[in-house]
Amino acid sequence: MPVTELIFDGLTLMLLGMGSVFSFLAVLVVAMLGMSRLAQSLGGKPKVLAAAPVVNAATDGELIAVISAAVKRYRSHKS
């Protein structure tokens, strides 16, 4: 086989491989876009999460005491 024929066969094989990979990726992108649109249409409106409870002044001191006791206990068991 002459060298030019080998180069031509190599280029043909390269183009065939790159074309098949490009085609697969194009089909994959189209499929992902289609599934995204389908999920958006089936999903409806997003749900709103409830707000965090408000901590008032009466429970604020109790919360600080509990957190400080937990930190103190953690530090005493760590060392």
One-letter identity of residue 72: K
pLDDT of residue 28: 98
40 within domain boundaries: yes
pLDDT tens-place string over residues 3-58: 999 999 999 999 999 999 999 999 999 999 999 999 888 887 777 777 766 666 66
**What is the residue range of 13's domain?**
1-44
Q: Are 24 and 31 in contact (CB under 8 A)?
A: no
pLDDT of residue 49: 73
Our measurement of the distance from residue 40's CA atom to the centroid of its chain's CA atoms, rounded to an integer in Å, reads: 17
31 within domain boundaries: yes
Q: Are 63 and 55 in contact (CB under 8 A)?
A: yes
Please state the domain count of the chain. Answer: 1
Q: 31-64 as b/e, with b when 16 or more CB fall inside 10 Å?
A: eeeeeeeeeeeeeeeeeeeeeeeeeeeeeeeeee
pLDDT of residue 32: 97
36 within domain boundaries: yes
